[in-house]
Amino acid sequence: MNSPRLHITFPVLNEEAQLAGSIERTVAFCREQGMGSCEIAIADNGSTDRTEAIGRALAARHANVKYLRLPVRGFGLALKTAWGQTDAGFVGYMDIDLATDLRHLKQVHDHIARGAGYDLYLGSRLKRGAHVTKRKPSRALLSRILNLLLRLRLGVGFSDAMCGFKFIDRKLYQSLITRFAFTDDWFFVAQLAVRAEWLGARVLDMPVTWTDQPHSKSGARLLNLSRLYLASISELKREMRQFRRASPAR
């Protein structure tokens, strides 16, 4: 198999405690698994701790690691900035806490290398075969409700829009980013998956092994952004109606 160029963005905000360890683990994993062509971007959107110093040191130490400093905060903005500065065939992201097992990165890499034909790889904690540990029941329930609303209101076929593990063909991403207006916040990744499906993307809904990390910030952001997700789903519903009217053949 040819080794594809796979771009992995780690969006970070005040992650001095785990940044170095997670990046070193990912670099070592890629090297050990014969994925040396993979590139890593640390997209720092507003850190005020030692994240910047650590990120720059990691970039200086590893040729395939790049540090990006964004002037303003925004999860979606971090991804758009990083993905706009690469010509890798596939672009994607993982959470810096590495809650998603790194072996799934190898799975995506190998699918691409053998030409499996998928345009979008979505990690799922809800699909049969997924293995989730140490997650609080309240967080799991809220995630299920929000994903259920996506399926009921938008009719999507994938199971988990919020899992921090997604990779997309860069050509498809470029088509989407020029055709649609994307938010700079957390809902960016849900917009990406929904709109890709509208355009007929071939999606692999991947069950993943996912372990909640003790210092993860995902719980707080999930609760704080539930209202945003609900409002954004309604906006996508309106957009979907317009899209279907403009594309009657679909």
Question: What pLDDT, in 10s, does the model give residues 232-246?
Answer: 999 999 998 888 888
The residue type of 145 is: I
Q: What is the pLDDT of residues 134-185, one digit of tens each?
A: 887 877 888 888 899 999 999 999 999 989 999 999 999 999 999 999 999 9
Q: Give the Cα separation of 131 and 23 in Å (integer).
A: 23
Q: What is the pLDDT of residue 219?
A: 47
Q: Give the Cα separation of 77 and 10 in Å (integer).
A: 12
In a domain, 153, yes or no: yes
Contact (CB, 8 A) for 40 and 26: yes
Q: Give the Cα separation of 207 and 226 in Å (integer).
A: 23
Q: Taking the model in full, what pTM does it have?
A: 0.92
Q: What is the pLDDT of residues 197-227, one digit of tens each?
A: 999 999 999 999 999 876 555 544 555 667 7
In a domain, 245, yes or no: no
Q: Give the Cα separation of 178 and 211 in Å (integer).
A: 35
Q: What is the pLDDT of residues 49-108, one digit of tens each?
A: 999 999 999 999 999 999 999 989 999 999 999 999 999 999 999 999 999 999 999 999
The CA R_g of the chain, rounded to the nearest whole Å, is 17
In a domain, 247, yes or no: no
Q: What is the pLDDT of residue 215?
A: 58
Q: What is the pLDDT of residue 221?
A: 57
Task: Give the C-alpha distances (Å, rounded to integers) separating 107 from 147, 192, 204.
Answer: 24, 21, 11
In a domain, 204, yes or no: yes
Q: How confident is the model at residue 250 (pLDDT cuts 50, 70, 90)?
A: very low
Q: Is the dihedral of CA 169, 170, 172, 177 positive or negative?
A: positive
Q: How many residues are present in the chain? A: 250
Q: What is the pLDDT of residues 31-52, one digit of tens each?
A: 999 998 899 999 999 999 999 9
In a domain, 248, yes or no: no
In a domain, 232, yes or no: yes
Query: Tokens 């999606």, residue?
Result: 203
Task: Read off the tokens for 96.
Answer: 């810096």
Q: How many domains does the chain have?
A: 1
In a domain, 246, yes or no: no
Instruction: Give the residue numbers spanning the domain of 189.
Output: 6-240
Task: Read off the tokens for 109.
Answer: 């890499």
Q: What is the pLDDT of residues 97-142, one digit of tens each?
A: 999 999 999 999 999 999 999 999 999 999 999 999 988 787 788 8
**What is the DSSP secondary structure assignment for residue 168, as one 8-state letter?**
E
Task: Read off the tokens for 64.
Answer: 């395939």
The CATH number of the domain holding residue 100 is: 3.90.550.10
Q: Which residues of 210-239 are buried (b: 16+ CB within 10 A; e: fewer)?
A: bebbeebebeeebeebeeebeebbeebeeb
Q: Give the Cα separation of 197 and 201 in Å (integer).
A: 5
Q: What is the pLDDT of residue 88?
A: 97
In a domain, 250, yes or no: no
Q: Give the Cα separation of 106 and 116 in Å (integer).
A: 14
